[in-house]
Amino acid sequence: MAGGDLVAHVATFAGALRSRGVHVGLGDEVDAVRALTLVDVPDRSEVHRALRIAMKILRRDWAAFDESFARFWAAAPPVRHDSRDTVPSPRPAGAALLRPSMSVEGETSRPGGSPAPPEEGSPGYSPEAVLRRKPFDQCSDADLHAMERPMRQLARGLAVRRSRRLVPARRRETADLRRSFRRSIGTGGELVSLAYRARAIEWPRLVVLCDTSGSMDRHARFLLAFVVALRRVARSTEVFVFNTALARVTGSIASGRIPRIVERLVSAVPDWSGGTRIGESLGEFVSAHLDRFVTHKTVVIILSDGLDRGDTTRIAAAMKAIRSRARRIIWLNPLAGDPRYEPTARAMAAARPFIDRLLPAHDLESLERLLPELA
């Protein structure tokens, strides 16, 4: 096979992979071409192995890779310039889920979608102290506006975690010999003052899964507002919402006023305040997103009342999988604000063994208790 031919092959193949959502860069194409000059090109299985190695295909993309490969490097000469169209690309489930959140912009103008200016009633006289203990399910949209400031303050207090990595610091934690000694050159090798190192500050990594089913409707708006405020501080925070299905909405959280963002989220999430399928939604999170977003440093926060009549074994299996990767799992349950509450609902009972902390989340004050848990 001529060299130019090979390059064209690889480029078209890479295009097909991209159209299936497999990330392949130009550098990977270059590596693929180089690799193909080093192996037996007529040997299909060797070409298959070499391409997978040189294009750095992750394990989770193997199925897509294998399918594309089967179409492309079949016995027939595979270079066709329309080949991008001939490869039917079933849209990955994740992309379908994301669509609603991408159409957000178009929907903001619908009547009622934009936050109404605070009108009659509460806002003027809701002092923050009262607001802090006002149950979310009794709050009005106007309260959401009033809560924006305290929520931002709360989020800023997000307790920081210290990394094990040492960075130069003024705090007197560990002497930094390298810098101290360098400094001492000026004083003839006499260590007059020591330089120090201290443990770096590390923002917690958060993944939030918020239940937006009917029973959670009022709470979900306020909790999402809080999550948006958290994301302002901890930039790596990832946000998912679920009811009968799961959707990643991180991309929809732009800058701007928090209540407005929440309104957009509400209108973008399909089936907001519909039914709940906690087990299926968590299972979907595990299979599609766990590897990518949850590491041993991640704190997973689940916001749900756990009212679901579905199959509890699915919940337990999904929670177990999350447990095996995450640093902590915190479940925020608005019902837990009632001192008589016991996690006996079937879904809650199934999830309970895998939860590090079960905390109430019915008003602003209860959210304050969450922050130290994230450190």
Can you tell me which of 84, 91, 99, 165 binds another protein, judged by CB under 8 A?
165
DSSP state of 338: S
Q: Which is nearer to another protein, 42 or 111 (CB)?
A: 42
* Interface region with another protein, contact rule CB under 8 A, candidates 12-20, 71-79, 186-194, 260-268: 186-194
By CB under 8 A, is residue 193 in contact with another protein?
Answer: no
How far apart CA 8 and CA 227 sit, in angstroms, is 47
* Least separation in angstroms between CB 18 and another protein: 14
Positions 62 through 121 that interact with another protein (CB under 8 A): 62
**Residue window 280-319: x/- pattern of binding to another protein, with contact defined by CB under 8 A:** -----------xx--xxx----------------------
Of all helices (H) and strands (E), which one includes residue 210? strand 205-211
Q: Which two tokens stand for residue 302?
A: 């689940």
Contact 41, 1 (CB under 8 A): yes
**What spatial distance separates the first Cα and last Cα of the chain, rounded to whole Å?**
58
By CB under 8 A, is residue 264 in contact with another protein?
Answer: no
By CB under 8 A, is residue 34 in contact with another protein?
Answer: yes
Q: Which is nearer to another protein, 33 or 79 (CB)?
A: 33
By CB under 8 A, is residue 162 in contact with another protein?
Answer: no
Q: Which is nearer to another protein, 43 or 128 (CB)?
A: 43
How far apart CA 220 and CA 266 sit, in angstroms, is 9
Contact 46, 27 (CB under 8 A): no
* Interface region with another protein, contact rule CB under 8 A, candidates 48-56, 66-74, 270-278, 337-345: 48-56
How far apart CA 257 and CA 160 sit, in angstroms, is 25
Residue 181's alpha-carbon distances to 169, 173, 190, 347, 368, in angstroms, are: 16, 17, 9, 60, 45
Number of residues that bind another protein (CB under 8 A): 42
By CB under 8 A, is residue 149 in contact with another protein?
Answer: no
- CB-count burial class (<10 Å; 0-12, 13-18, 19+) for 165: exposed
Contact 72, 14 (CB under 8 A): no
* Least separation in angstroms between CB 225 and another protein: 30
Q: Which residues bind another protein (CB under 8 A)?
A: 23, 25, 27-28, 31, 34-35, 38-40, 43, 45-46, 49-50, 52-54, 56-59, 62, 163-166, 177-178, 181, 185-186, 188-189, 291-292, 295-297, 320, 324-325
